[in-house]
Amino acid sequence: MAAPAEPPALAAPVPASEPGSLSQWALIGRRFRHHRLAVASLFLLAVLYVLALGAEFFAPYSRDWRDLSHAYCPPQLPRYSWAHGLHVTALRVRIDPLTFKKSYVEDPADVIPLGFFVRGEPYRLWGWIPLERHFFGVKLEAPRRADGARPTFYFLGADEYGHDIFSRLIHGSRISLSVGLVAIAVTFMLGVTIGGISGYFGGAVDTLIQRVIEVVNAFPQIPLWLAFGAILPAEWPPLSTYFAITLVLSLLGWTGLARVVRGKILSLREEDYATAARLLGASHTRILFRHLLPGFTSHIIVVLTMSVPAMILGETSLSFLGLGLRAPIVSWGVMLQDCLSIQTVANYPWLLMPVVLIVLTVLSFNFLGDGLRDAADPYATK
């Protein structure tokens, strides 16, 4: 339902808020803006998705860039001084002569200047726009290290192989954040079609579909995911694995939506306007999609928003358990595989950064869904 355009033939100019011509979406938007937490969540999610979209640009390093000499390098907070501008000081490895424990010490004499929109590794944005500027990173004119390599900057530290965790978080968000959306798209199609048929035609079809939904819901999820994950051949290219994972996630996730759709259709199909449409000669598809579904699109959106976190968590759990995506693909779940041992976590807590992002994302989606639900029915009394 697009916002209705005013007919141009009108003599008197009609104000945009002519009574009764605000669409349902305008009313929902108005109410949604009162839900501060939801608006903040929406903003945060927008930032995360923009970061994911422009990952190559926003990440200081590429997905596979690494510097083995800086394995497990701790996070380096940028500092500011009049003399050097934005900078970090270089870290030198020091090996304890007694325990051989590696540690990093700052070398205040060695300043690495940082900047925004710096030249770095060349890359292709979205695979085809050749660029070499990064949002921020080490300035090109920074003095080279003794071994001739460019000085490094680990904003959130490094992992076992000297990968930059911050860069990998951004690259990984591309998979982790989109898996939810793709899975939701499949869930939406399955849920609306199956639920719609169930509610619209009723009778034996309805009974059959409802029993199938109960059986699907009765399956224990994790073992089933594991079974599906185990089926996926290891030699599949990353993209196929990715889509297979989303399919696995949504094959179990559509039942909730199907139930909502069925319930709503069951009540709406008895409305006179559905009968009226039928008497006008409208086809079943037209009645279902033009008359019945728009009556609760907002509810569908809410249910979908609320189930994105489950999808994201699903991908993370599968990848964490080693049955979903595998290296060299980077996702938040794949990154968490490094945290399987308590020693690693205790010594290098920055490896847990993906958890922070996952929690933030899931919370944001929940708050967003909450706000949308409150705003969904503009005619409901508070």
Q: Which H helix or E strand runs over 107? A: strand 102-125
CA separation for the pair 319, 326 (Å, rounded): 7
3-state helix, strand, coil in the chain (%, to 5): 55, 15, 30
Whose Cβ is closer to other proteins: residue 68's or residue 276's? Answer: 276
CA separation for the pair 16, 20 (Å, rounded): 11
- Smallest separation (angstroms) from other proteins to the CB of 255: 23
Residue length, the chain?
382
- Verify cis geometry, omega within 30 degrees of 0, for the bond prior to 328: yes
- Smallest separation (angstroms) from other proteins to the CB of 86: 53
Instruction: Provide the residue type at 359 as one letter.
Output: V
Binding positions for other proteins, rule: CB under 8 A = 1, 4-7, 10, 14, 18-21, 23-24, 271-273, 275-282, 286, 291, 294-295, 379
Whose Cβ is closer to other proteins: residue 136's or residue 296's? Answer: 296
CA separation for the pair 284, 197 (Å, rounded): 10
Whose Cβ is closer to other proteins: residue 18's or residue 160's? Answer: 18
Angle at 287 between CA 285 and CA 293, to 5 degrees: 95
Whose Cβ is closer to other proteins: residue 102's or residue 290's? Answer: 290
- Smallest separation (angstroms) from other proteins to the CB of 286: 7
- Smallest separation (angstroms) from other proteins to the CB of 369: 22
- Smallest separation (angstroms) from other proteins to the CB of 275: 5
- Smallest separation (angstroms) from other proteins to the CB of 28: 12
Whose Cβ is closer to other proteins: residue 121's or residue 214's? Answer: 214
Whose Cβ is closer to other proteins: residue 60's or residue 196's? Answer: 196
Task: Evaluate whether 350 touches 356 at the Cβ level (below 8 Å).
Answer: no
Instruction: Provide the residue type at 161 as one letter.
Output: Y
- Smallest separation (angstroms) from other proteins to the CB of 281: 4
Whose Cβ is closer to other proteins: residue 239's or residue 279's? Answer: 279
CA torsion angle for 53, 58, 60, 64 (degrees, to 10)?
Answer: 0
Q: Please classify residue 268 by burial: count the beta carbons closer than 10 Å to its beta carbon, then call 0-12 exposed, 13-18 middle and 19+ buried.
A: buried
